[in-house]
Amino acid sequence: MNERQDGISKAVIVAGGRGTRFLPATLAIPKEILPIFDRPMLFYALEEAANSGLKEVVLISAPGKSVMENYVTLRGEALAKALGEHPSAPEVQGLMDSLSVTIVHQNEPLGLGHAILQAADAVGDEPFAVILPDDIVDAETPVLAQMLAAYRDYPGIHVGVERVPGEAISAYGVVDVEPVDGDNERVYRVTGMVEKPELADAPSDLGIVGRYIFPGAIFDAIRRTPPGAKNEIQITDAMEILRREGTPTFAFAFDGVRYDAGNPLGHLRAAASFALARPDTSEQARAMLEEALSQAG
């Protein structure tokens, strides 16, 4: 049963990629299972969904990623036995037991829009949220919870955004915006968007970060979306179709620190930051990092 006021109970977590930026590790291990400090990348996405009140996860997986699928399937007795007396046991068990996870497959890597389309049957015709687990945001209030609160005041499509330096902008979906009525300074109305523009063509410096809220109509829009940037079916293009057809579309400048854990250096930065932030490890982490820095000269 969906008891949320905003009618959203499902989070689609997109994890069907091949992880080529993490080769050779990803020859055998899905990128989403690589630990960031001591928890798999996917764990942070599951945690964000649960802590935002979304207990039904649709995980987009792909052939060959059974290790990841096994991870999200462990429950109850089996999970308790595997965790044993480990200090993380209560937290991990509490999280996993609170979530239902439906797994669907993206059988061919045809783009993010195509990946999200694979969730159509599992989601049905209702609004839902999307998390790209590469984008980890450390925030007091989970980003999705922040966005769901804004969605209640501004129904429509929502995308998370942050300011991106010019040299990196061509890796993002980029939005053009104008102010909205009302007093939420983090919400903008989107007046256009483009996937992976050249710097000269970028409509602003607001890059889309991997958090979205969509109406069920997005699936039909994806079916009508031709291949775009990188010759892939892009979710940005599907959103732009709905926006032009009249769906109110908003960009949300979230509060939090975002880590691009989809590449090895961003992954390292996230791991170091998390180890430094945890009371039980911060002192040792700082000493180790300082030592590593001085050794490197």
Instruction: Confirm or reject binding of residue 228 to ligand G1P (CB under 6 A).
Output: no
Which of 266, 268, 269, 275 lies closest to 210 in space, CA to CA? Answer: 266
Residue corresponding to tokens 């969906």: 2
Strands 206-214 and 257-260: what pairing?
unpaired
- Say how many residues touch ligand G1P, by CB under 6 A: 14
- Residue (56 or 237) nearer to ligand G1P, CB: 237
Q: For the CB of residue 251, give the shortest distance to ligand G1P in the complex, in Å.
A: 11
Which residues share a beta bridge with 56?
10, 100
Exactly one of 132, 147, 175, 239 binds ligand G1P (CB under 6 A); that residue is 132
Exactly one of 32, 48, 56, 135 binds ligand G1P (CB under 6 A); that residue is 135
| Binding positions for ligand G1P, 104-123, rule CB under 6 A | 112
Instruction: Confirm or reject binding of residue 173 to ligand G1P (CB under 6 A).
Output: yes
| Binding positions for ligand G1P, 27-66, rule CB under 6 A | none
CA separation for the pair 99, 35 (Å, rounded): 20
CA separation for the pair 152, 150 (Å, rounded): 5
Instruction: Confirm or reject binding of residue 210 to ligand G1P (CB under 6 A).
Output: yes
CA separation for the pair 34, 22 (Å, rounded): 9
Part of the chain binding ligand G1P (CB under 6 A), chosen from 18-26, 79-87, 206-214, 288-296 = 206-214
Annotate each residue in 235-274 with x if it binds ligand G1P (CB under 6 A) or - if it does not, as one string: xx--------------------------------------
Instruction: Confirm or reject binding of residue 209 to ligand G1P (CB under 6 A).
Output: yes
Part of the chain binding ligand G1P (CB under 6 A), chosen from 5-13, 43-51, 89-97, 132-140 = 132-140
Instruction: Confirm or reject binding of residue 172 to ligand G1P (CB under 6 A).
Output: yes
Q: For the CB of residue 161, give the shortest distance to ligand G1P in the complex, in Å.
A: 9
- Residue (112 or 242) nearer to ligand G1P, CB: 112
Which of 195, 202, 240, 201 lies closest to 218 in space, CA to CA? Answer: 240
Considering only the C-alpha atoms of the chain, give the largest distance between any 2 of them, rounded to a whole number of Å.
58
CB atoms within 10 A of CB 63: 10
Part of the chain binding ligand G1P (CB under 6 A), chosen from 22-30, 50-58, 205-213, 268-276 = 205-213
Q: For the CB of residue 57, give the shortest distance to ligand G1P in the complex, in Å.
A: 19
Two tokens, residue 160: 């998370």
Which residues share a beta bridge with 258?
137
CA separation for the pair 221, 206 (Å, rounded): 23
Q: Are 160 and 252 in contact (CB under 8 A)?
A: yes
Part of the chain binding ligand G1P (CB under 6 A), chosen from 149-157, 183-191, 208-216, 287-295 = 208-216
Which residues share a beta bridge with 278?
none
Instruction: Confirm or reject binding of residue 195 to ligand G1P (CB under 6 A).
Output: yes
**Cα separations (Å) of 32 from 28, 107, 128, 269?**
12, 17, 21, 16
Q: For the CB of residue 15, give the shortest distance to ligand G1P in the complex, in Å.
A: 12
Q: For the CB of residue 92, give the shortest distance to ligand G1P in the complex, in Å.
A: 26
Q: Under 8 Å CB-to-CB from 256, ≥6 apart: which residues?
A: 137, 138, 139, 140, 143, 146
Chain residues in the site for ligand G1P (CB under 6 A):
112, 132, 134-135, 172-173, 195, 207-210, 234-236
